[in-house]
Structure 1
Amino acid sequence: MALTIDRDNRRFLRFPAVQPCEAISPATLLKSLIIISHSICSFKSKFFATQRRNARELIRQIEILTIFLEEIRDHFPGTWNPVILCLSELHHTFQKIQFLMEDCAREGARLWILMKSHTVIGQFQVSIRSIATALDVLPLNSIQVPYETKELIEMLCKQAWKAKFELEPGDEEALKRVILVMNQFENKFEPDLSVIKKILDHLGIKTWGDCHKEIKFLNEEIEAECVGCDEREVPLLISLLGLLSYCRGIIFEDSDFSGILGQTDGRNNHNNFETLSCLNPEDFLCPISLELMTDPVTVSTGQTYNRASIQKWLKSGNLLCPVSGEKLTSTEMVPNTTLRKLIQHFCTEYGVSLEKSRKKNRDISRTILPGSPTNEESIKFLSWFLASRLRSGTDYQKNKAAHEIRLLSKSNLFNRSCLIESGCVPHLLDLLHSTDPATQENAVSALLKLSKQANGQEVIMRHEGLNAILGVLKTGSKLESRQIAAATIFYLCSTHENRKIIGENQETIPALLELIKEGTPCGQKNSMVALFALQIRRKNRQRAIESGAVPVLLNLLSSCNRFELKTDTLAVLSTLADNITASIQILEAASLPLILRQLQTIETRAGKEYCISILHSLCLNCGEVVVSFLAKDAPLMSVLYSVISDGTSSHGSKIARSLTKILHRFSETRAGLKIAELRQEQFIGV
């Protein structure tokens, strides 16, 4: 009988055993039992950091039972129900024991198993009692096996009832030390490293990689607990996470971590290194609610919030900007339509459900607080240590400190705040000038994570970090570093003031365009989204056009095979095409057929809307030559009608209606429309 349990999705220290069906044949049941028993016995060669004696004792008893099962395999009295009942109970128990052994021997879960020692011991006790209960109903006298084997089973049954599993002295001492260290952190005392090293030695956590596995496991458990709505153990998990993060950053400072570099972001490094195609909703969160902005508006200080959140803030009597702390000169809120389009495009392209994203945002917002006093103090101690390493450590220590910051700040708002507050940002900016490719990559990646925080952006800009980041974008030692620098530019463009400063820098847009021309799809996408963010400020559009953005984008559009990159390219072109100069460049490049072809072939609604927006701008800016060409394209009208009639009232539908009116008027009059008339069309209500 094959087990039907999804082992990959089983929760840790959960034992979802399957009871054999009543109609199972005795031979099948015995065969499955023997297979599972051999699997349990194979754990004899595995390393148990804790529960060694208990695991060894239980395995010894299973080995005896395995001999018994193999002897009765050929002499099974299949008509005797008590025997089948016994074997069914053993099968159910063996499954749980196998899960228990897997968890106790699992790499990465050693500290958590130590902390759950009493729960684990209870499970050992339940398992051995279940074996004793099953053997009690076994009619040994009716089974044809040697007398010695029967005696052995009878003795095993008696021992099973008397068996007592206990916490071993070494485990008990290690457990007390963990509690001591956590209490010291909680009371703001930095613990003695020798005490922590004794804990790690007992658990066999000897390298940076071992410690990293423990941290990864704890993160998975925290996520699982939150998803399962059972957060009772989360504070303890977070405390252990802080302790192990402290260990990884300080105790294992001389260990080799380079082999983990390409794996630490949890995604395929070759295909998608720090790519913005994997943006999570965190990148578009309202600073007040920490939820995805569905109606972003900009206030007088230049900060952007979700309309409902800032309205609630103002109604409560607050007249200061929540992010900058400046006094609001006006309560007027200007809709940020470009940002809304970017968010909608992101949600459409990557299947982000607003409901799911709100839940994810709540998970992210949970990390704005430390989660436990132990974690709070351990991360603070670690942050100051890493800052000192960046300031005065050896080249190797600086590289490792940058890598630790990169890991710590990946998806934790509290960690980012501590690292920024400890003064890591200026030293990371200095490392961008490093000639060591790995150091430069770690530094720019760490800055990318920290730039997601408003205060991180402020520190980077205050220390004139833009030039250093642009230096990596233009001439980074590795292509990956250049791609990450482009992504960092995107985050720095979060505020109006930053968009102004970044856009006015004469090197920014040409450097982004250069990466679009020669980069990988990931680099092209990062640069494209950064370019899109810069264009939220209208004056930056003219700079992009003057830098040659239009021919670069048209060339990419004609040669690219990735639909998501095509959509991003069309998004930027639709923004630029609003400018007369850009429209003329598109027309002179003979790209009208290219845009029409994209409109017919691209599958996403967002992509179609961008194409329609480009065509609409070309009609307004270039007049009859464009309108007459479009009027001859028979499939165009059917696409426009499909966009209009899909039941939405989006901006794209309005543009499609306007373009339809222009083409209808041209067809009806058979006369060229003057540009002035076309421009008037955009102000007519549709």
Structure 2
Amino acid sequence: MISSWRRRRATRRARKEQLVGCEEAGETELTIPSHFRCPISLDLMKDPVTLSTGITYDRESIETWIDAGNRTCPITNQALRSLEPIPNHAIRRMVQDWCVENRSFGIERIPTPRIPASPMDVLEILKNIASASERGDRDGCIESVAKMKALVREGERNKRCFATHGAGTALSSAFEEFSNTSSLDENIIVLFEEMLSVFPSMFPLNSEARSHLGSPASLHCMILLLKSGDLTARRNSVLVLKEIVSSDSRNKAEEVAEIDGAPEALYKLIKEPICPTATKAALVVIYRMTSLNPTNEKIITRLVEMGLVNLLIETLVDADRSVCEKALGVLDGICNIELGRVTTYDHSLTVAALVKKLLRVSELATEFSVSVLWKLARRNDQPDDGALVEALQVGAFQKLLLLLQVGCGERTKEKATELLKLLNLHRERSECIDSSDFKDLKRPF
């Protein structure tokens, strides 16, 4: 026992002397053993796995290779009998021991990786969710959904595995099943919140999953959480609503709008933002409500009376590109009715904000800005001198001319051309730039 201790002490002393000698000679570079390197990335393997050909790779590298459509071993070029790599615990422990031995070089011990969920694990969880929903077992369903949520959060591989095996459809079916319950007590609300937190990981949903979530019972439950849930539940609810209405016809947007308190809850998400993602999702849902069915004055009137127009214009002042596009789209839909046009024009910043966004944010933002300006300039199907004069004063004529020069869509081109004709009638007395300022400018021809 004493001799064994002496040998270990001698080994440590020899390693220390070797290290000191290398430092004195300026040779402090550490060489990674070749069998610890991934044959693909040539980096130290953090999660070594072995293929059916017997070659070991780092999991991230070989999964990237397989996901690219390759079905052969990169080293041997042999066809893979199985695409499921097997964890190589022996190599992983050797790598960890080597990291510990060389910690004086600044090498940190790699953590023991979590084993990804296998297809069998995924199918078992989805089967338990389906059977629990059939029995009405809320606690059992919550337990299975929690397991699914934990695995999905571990990494993209687990997320893809669940999505590939139909997790979106199974989860949405269970959501609809429990939505049809007669009583919405605290237990069922917890279940809905857990389910909604997983859905964003499954996007985009297939048509069957959207059908389950788009049922009247499911929509009412989501609106309930959108109105009275915590911040996370409200965020996840609006993301799922966006997924449903974005990939469906106008019918789903109308159904959402008709649910008591839905427009007010969406308006609150914009007025009191939770996060940029939730704000954008709320704008998309409202856009679908207002733009896909321009004749539905009831929905637009409710939104205008809430104060949405003022909120949108104030949002435009310093919004990023994505929010700006969506806010302009909603504003364009609101201006389909007379009340919307009047309320929009009554805001002192409207015309200036619209002209400022021309050719400045994106092509889509420019199209919406031209459309709104065109609607404001033709209120009651007659030219509105006030809107036209104000547009001239903030430089709309020059920007519209430039827009026609650089090119735009056919419908936008028609509206811009008509706006230029109307603006031209007021140029002599209202344009902010006097053409005489350029009388001495030499022409290039």
Instruction: Indicate the TM-score class for this superposition, using the shorter chain for normalisation.
Output: 0.5 to 0.7
Structure 2 residue corresponding to 1:465, chosen from 192, 197, 218: 218
Pair 1:523 & 2:268 matched: no
Compute the displacement of 1:555 (Å).
2.1
Q: Is the 8 A contact 1:470 1:485 kept in 2?
A: yes
Rounded Cα–Cα distance in structure 2 between residues aligned with 1:662 and 1:615: 12
Counterpart of 1:545 in structure 2 is 300
Rounded Cα–Cα distance in structure 1 between residues aligned with 2:418 and 2:392: 18
- Quote the RMSD (CA, aligned, Å): 4.5
Q: SS at 1:495's partner residue? A: coil
Counterpart of 2:176 in structure 1 is 426
- Between 1 and 2, higher relative CO (CA 8 Å, sep ≥ 6) is seen in 1
* CA 1:595–1:421: 2 relative to 1, 3 Å: closer
Kindly provide the amino acid, as one letter, of the partner of residue 548 in structure 1. Answer: L
Rounded Cα–Cα distance in structure 2 between residues aligned with 1:598 and 1:537: 26
Kindly provide the amino acid, as one letter, of the partner of residue 403 in structure 1. Answer: K
Pair 1:230 & 2:230 matched: no
Rounded Cα–Cα distance in structure 2 between residues aligned with 1:114 and 1:547: 61
Pair 1:645 & 2:405 matched: yes
Counterpart of 2:310 in structure 1 is 554
Compute the displacement of 1:495 (Å).
2.1
- Aligned ranges for residues 322-401 of structure 1 at < 5 Å? 379-389=122-132, 391-392=136-137, 394=139, 397=143, 400-401=146-147
* CA 1:119–1:553: 2 relative to 1, 3 Å: same
Kindly provide the amino acid, as one letter, of the partner of residue 543 in structure 1. Answer: K
Compute the displacement of 1:94 (Å).
4.0
Q: Which moved more, 1:397-406 or 1:427-436?
A: 427-436
Kindly provide the amino acid, as one letter, of the partner of residue 174 in structure 2. Answer: C
Rounded Cα–Cα distance in structure 1 between residues aligned with 2:174 and 2:149: 12
**Unmatched tracts of structure 1, length 5 or more:** 1-60, 77-86, 124-216, 242-373, 671-686
Compute the displacement of 1:615 (Å).
0.7
Counterpart of 2:268 in structure 1 is 514
Kindly provide the amino acid, as one letter, of the partner of residue 416 in structure 2. Answer: A
Q: Is the 8 A contact 2:270 2:282 kept in 1?
A: yes
1:480-509 superposed Cα distances (whole Å, 9 cap, x missing partner) = 211221121122212223234333334332
Q: SS at 2:49's partner residue? A: helix
Kindly provide the amino acid, as one letter, of the partner of residue 256 in structure 2. Answer: I
Compute the displacement of 1:388 (Å).
3.3
Pair 1:616 & 2:374 matched: yes
Q: Which moved more, 1:480-489 or 1:617-626?
A: 617-626
1:98-117 superposed Cα distances (whole Å, 9 cap, x missing partner) = 6469745x3xx2xx525579
TM-score (ref. length: structure 1): 0.45
Compute the displacement of 1:422 (Å).
9.5
Equivalent residues, number: 365
Rounded Cα–Cα distance in structure 2 between residues aligned with 1:394 and 1:617: 54
Rounded Cα–Cα distance in structure 2 between residues aligned with 1:621 and 1:68: 87
Rounded Cα–Cα distance in structure 2 between residues aligned with 1:492 and 1:636: 38
Counterpart of 2:94 in structure 1 is none
Counterpart of 1:81 in structure 2 is none
Compute the displacement of 1:464 (Å).
1.9
Rounded Cα–Cα distance in structure 1 between residues aligned with 2:240 and 2:289: 12
1:26-69 superposed Cα distances (whole Å, 9 cap, x missing partner) = xxxxxxxxxxxxxxxxxxxxxxxxxxxxxxxxxxx999898667
* CA 1:562–1:438: 2 relative to 1, 3 Å: farther
Kindly provide the amino acid, as one letter, of the partner of residue 660 in structure 1. Answer: L
Compute the displacement of 1:654 (Å).
3.6
Pair 1:415 & 2:165 matched: yes
- Aligned ranges for residues 126-525 of structure 1 at < 5 Å? 222-223=63-64, 225-227=66-68, 230-232=70-72, 239=84, 379-389=122-132, 391-392=136-137, 394=139, 397=143, 400-401=146-147, 403=149, 413-416=163-166, 419-420=169-170, 423-427=173-177, 429=179, 433=184, 435=186, 439-448=191-200, 449=202, 452-462=205-215, 464-476=217-229, 478-493=230-245, 494-496=247-249, 497-520=251-274, 521-525=276-280
Q: SS at 1:535's partner residue? A: helix
* CA 1:221–1:620: 2 relative to 1, 3 Å: farther
Kindly provide the amino acid, as one letter, of the partner of residue 639 in structure 1. Answer: K
TM-score (ref. length: structure 2): 0.65
1:288-341 superposed Cα distances (whole Å, 9 cap, x missing partner) = xxxxxxxxxxxxxxxxxxxxxxxxxxxxxxxxxxxxxxxxxxxxxxxxxxxxxx
Compute the displacement of 1:383 (Å).
1.2
* CA 1:420–1:399: 2 relative to 1, 3 Å: closer
Counterpart of 1:657 in structure 2 is 417
Rounded Cα–Cα distance in structure 1 between residues aligned with 2:172 and 2:310: 45
Rounded Cα–Cα distance in structure 2 between residues aligned with 1:546 and 1:114: 63
Pair 1:113 & 2:87 matched: no
* CA 1:611–1:398: 2 relative to 1, 3 Å: same
Fraction of identical pairs, as percent: 12
Compute the displacement of 1:236 (Å).
7.6
1:362-419 superposed Cα distances (whole Å, 9 cap, x missing partner) = xxxxxxxxxxxx9666543331123335542637625515626966667864333675
Q: Which moved more, 1:64-73 or 1:395-404?
A: 64-73
Counterpart of 2:3 in structure 1 is none
Rounded Cα–Cα distance in structure 2 between residues aligned with 1:72 and 1:440: 62
* CA 1:647–1:65: 2 relative to 1, 3 Å: farther
Pair 1:582 & 2:340 matched: yes
Kindly provide the amino acid, as one letter, of the partner of residue 339 in structure 2. Answer: T
Kindly provide the amino acid, as one letter, of the partner of residue 165 in structure 2. Answer: N
Rounded Cα–Cα distance in structure 1 between residues aligned with 2:139 and 2:391: 68
Compute the displacement of 1:539 (Å).
4.9
* CA 1:589–1:63: 2 relative to 1, 3 Å: same
Compute the displacement of 1:468 (Å).
0.3
Compute the displacement of 1:556 (Å).
3.8
